[in-house]
Structure 1
Amino acid sequence: MTAKAVAAVDRGTYLAVMRWLLSVISCCLPIPAMAHPHVFIDTGLEFIVDENGQLTHVRVTWAYDELFSLLQLEDMRLDQDGDGVLTQNEEEFLTGFDAQWIEGYNGDLIVTAAGVPVALSAPLSPSATTEDGRIVTTHLRAVEGGSVPASALSAKAFDETYYTAYEVTRPVVVTGPAVCQIERFDPDIDGQLAQMQAFLLTLDADYDLEENDIPMVGENFATEIRISCPAT
């Protein structure tokens, strides 16, 4: 499986998922079965701020679910003894497997400063290891242009198609000399699922997904992190 397949899917795959959702409704399955991510990632974020209260980098941690990790390690012929621990050579071989991004891919991370999107670099300084059999990777992203004020930052980690589900369960920290405030706002999962069900129930069984605009729902399930660092 390619790194891009891990992090996002193209519109064709998204339409296939939506068709699956429609079939779920036709079978009268309960709401929880409708939201059907295929990869689950526990996410951590480190916001790196300089002495002037400017954001310069964001370090992202992805901890993949057990099933995906097992399949990836088997595909790459790693951890052959099955103890869930990689050798140094195996870690070096694994490093970067999810950092080969296609042009235009945003890394499933949206950062804004005072409401304005922040352009981030491609992944830098990747690392990879395992924890209890789960693959855990990190990568660093630099702010294009050097820095932006960190007085009103917002960050959301999500795949707009919801093929990959990101949960911000790992640490969220600010690194640097500035004293910053961190807030998190978790989504109303049940409410969003109910809205999704209501929308899909309005569609005819013969509805042509390819010829109509289907809303991307991933952001609706995303935790928002807000950072406020005083300027100096």
Structure 2
Amino acid sequence: MRYLITTLILCLPMQANAHPHVFIDTGLEFVVDDAGQLTHVRVTWAYDEFYSLLVLEDMKLDQDADGVLTESEERFLTGFDTQWVEGYNGDLVVTADGNHVALSGPMEAQATVEDGRVVTTHLRAVEAGSVAAAALSAKAFDETFYTAYEVTRPVTVTGPAACQIDRFDPDIDGELAQMQAFLLTLDADYDLEENDIPLVGERFATEIRVSCPAT
């Protein structure tokens, strides 16, 4: 998807800022209890090579450029992306039977480098303690599309319940065509920052549905 988006960007007016600057490969682990209730979601973010390089250089890590962090470097890196401002949803929306599931802030953060890419994980708890996992939906996206998330890493369910996972990918070509058609109607003087920027992130989000039978 990132290559299609990059091609689109080259065709847009110079002031059109609604395109991704950071690409993240995402993985999700849904933690359920004995009763088939969702209690936690563990999130994996694997940053693109360029952004990873910027992070490592800014934090002065991997100075020998061997692509391997020492234990002390990993500890220093851990948590760099979990200092969230109040109200930030972690670019993750989870619903149960169509109702929003409130999640805690990030816990148990970990970070490392794999093949030149910064990879981090964090755990989020269901604020209500648990919620029925009979009909869960999860989408990882940034509304502003500054960051583009692709669910390319494993999606799993941890727990005793036998759960089904289904994946629904967006119509990337169709959504790109609609975005391009809109942006190409703007003249060069149109300032997206002073006008309403279309919040298109969700339109490019993969939906993960999880169904766990109650016991």
Whether TM exceeds 0.5 here: the answer is: yes
Distance, in Å, in 2 between the alignment partners of 1:129 and 1:216 is 31
Aligned partner of 1:181 in structure 2 is 164
Amino acid paired to 2:134: S
TM-score (norm 2): 0.90
2:13–2:187 Cα contact (<8 Å) kept: no
For 1:185-229, what per-residue CA distance to the aligned partner results, in whole angstroms no more than 9, with x for missing partners? 111111001111222233344445455433200111110000000
What stretches of structure 2 of length at least 5 have no aligned partner?
Answer: 1-8
- Structure 1 alignment gaps of length 5 or more: 1-17, 26-33
| Partner amino acid, structure 2, of 1:139 | H
Q: Does 1:163 align with 2:120?
A: no
Matched, 1:36 2:27: no
1:196 maps to a residue whose letter is M
The alignment yields a C-alpha RMSD, in angstroms, of: 1.9
> Could you tell me which residue of structure 1 aligns to residue 13 of structure 2?
22
Q: In the alignment, which of 53, 62, 66 is matched to residue 83 of structure 1?
A: 66
Aligned residue-pair number: 206
Aligned ranges 1:59-70 → 2 under 5 Å? 59-70=42-53
Give the direction of change, closer, same or farther, for the CA distance of 1:119–1:70 in structure 2 (3 Å limit): same
> Is this contact kept in 2: 1:127–1:138, CA < 8 A?
yes
Deviations along 1:116-142, one digit per CA (max 9) or x if unpaired, are 110000000100011111110000000
Aligned partners of 2:103 and 2:49: how far apart in 1?
A: 29
Partner of 2:104: 121
Q: TM-score, normalised by structure 1?
A: 0.84
- 1:57-78 residue CA offsets vs partner (Å, 9 max, x unmatched): 0000000111111111111111
Where is the helix percentage greater, Structure 1 or Structure 2? 1
Write the distance in 1 (CA, Å) between the matches of 2:212 and 2:63.
46
CA distance in 1, matches of 2:76, 2:110: 10
Match of 1:23, SS state, is coil
Displacement of 1:21 in angstroms is 4.0
